[in-house]
Amino acid sequence: MMKLLLAFSTVLALAAAAPPALAVRPKPEKKSYDGYKVFRVTVGHEINKVNGIVSKLDLTTWKGAPRAGAYADIVVPPAQLDAFNTEIAGLETLTMHEDLGASIAEESSFSTYAAGSANATWFNSYHAYADHLQFLRDLQSSYPTQSEIVTAGNSLNGNPITGIHFWGTAGKNVKPAIVFHGTVHAREWISTMVVEYLGYNLLTNYASSAEIKGFVDKYDFFIFPAVNPDGFLYSQTNDRLWRKNRQSTSGSTCIGRDINRNWPYQWSVSGGASTSPCDQDFKGTAQSDAPETTALAAWLRTVKARQGLKLFIDYHAYSQLFMTPYGYSCTAVSTKNTELQALAKGAVAAIKASHGLTYKYGPICSTIYKATGSSVDYVNDVVGSDYTFTTELRDTGNSGFLLPAAQIVPSGEEAYAGLRYLLINMK
């Protein structure tokens, strides 16, 4: 009996000395959109009615709150379909996605990427985040003396904000910089592919095109396909329509900041972002309190101080727009506004000549909606880029965020046409 007591005491002592088990955070379940439908509703003068329906049924819209004279793209879960159809009677609607889950499944059928094969077939489909990183490495390894992999800091979860930097005959960091951002908003997958297309087109045609060689010899290019890596990863593994980063907020169970409402310029202006952590355009609790915003802002200031910043373009989707500062105000006017509008007009004409699609142009606030704490306003006024634009890529409502893979290459071609116009006509 004494031996048993001693053994039992030893077990208790060891248990007491052992470190407590680490709490395991449950893995978020994958969001299913099976049976969901997406409708485009013509708002017209029925703004109060449409907003009332969205609020009453607690529905999600894809392009911000419905606005008078515009359209509202509304996501409706199966349980709300009957109520929605009753409420919406009398308004003009079209169905964008008959079964959103099926559309997502079709889009997310990633092709297998073989390491070392950075060629044009990459643009035939969408890809997993890890493959995007490998594609950049493979592209860089094809031009080892003319390019390098760069990072602009780390995300909240420690993922490097990865890009590729390439240059011409003068060497690196001695010419003015051109910087492209993609996938600021995680669900905008076409922006990832288009930014990569621009880099691929410039690098792979450098030796064969005198015009492209002239562009790359004149400027250093910094291409960042996914500046919100945590959100992008989450959109691929858990929720295809995720927009924000993956940051928590004290006192709320809702996750994420909109890192394009978090830049430290005109952040406090009201009406251009949400103060609710549960909203898609949540601005954060303080300006630049998102690690991604802080890192990107610091990196851009460094580039500007080192070599100058000629052009910054922030690529988004969707709506087919080519926009200029400002987002924070519909009355403030950039000191370069006349020149910016002329360049934007020329760019959208070049885009239309490429594949026949019409893009609208103008200042952010009056062209799409008010947006405070945006990268474009910050880069224009604080960093001091010579030229600053943001574009909303395809389409205008048939597919929305789920643009078919067959449109990746045409989207890249027309984006390059717009960029080419800028490169030729910027002073």
Q: Looking at the annotation, which residues are catalytic?
A: 392
> How many H helices and E strands in the chain?
13, 12
SS3 assignment, position 62: coil
The residues pairing with 321 across neighbouring beta strands, listed in sequence order, are: 360, 392
For 412, list phi and psi in degrees, rounded to 5. Answer: -65, -40
The residue type found at 41 is V
Strand order in the sheet with 93-97: 60-61, 71-76, 37-42, 93-97
- Please name the residue ranges forming H helices in 33-75: 47-56
Residue 405 CA, chain-centre distance (Å), reads: 17
Which uninterrupted H or E stretch holds 214? helix 210-218
% helix, strand, coil for the chain, step of 5: 40, 15, 45
SS3 assignment, position 34: coil
Q: Please, what is the Cα angle at 216 between 182 and 134, to 5 degrees? A: 45
The residues pairing with 74 across neighbouring beta strands, listed in sequence order, are: 39, 61
Other CB atoms within a 10 A radius of the CB of residue 342 amount to 13
SS3 assignment, position 234: helix
Query: In angstroms, how far is the first alpha carbon of the chain from the final one?
Result: 94
Could you tell me the two tokens for 151? 């990072």
**Cβ contacts of residue 327 below 8 Å, gap of 6+?**
272, 363, 364, 365, 370, 371, 372, 374, 376, 377
**Cβ contacts of residue 41 below 8 Å, gap of 6+?**
50, 66, 71, 72, 73, 74, 88, 91, 92, 93
If you ran DSSP here, which 8-state letter would residue 407 be given?
G
SS3 assignment, position 316: strand
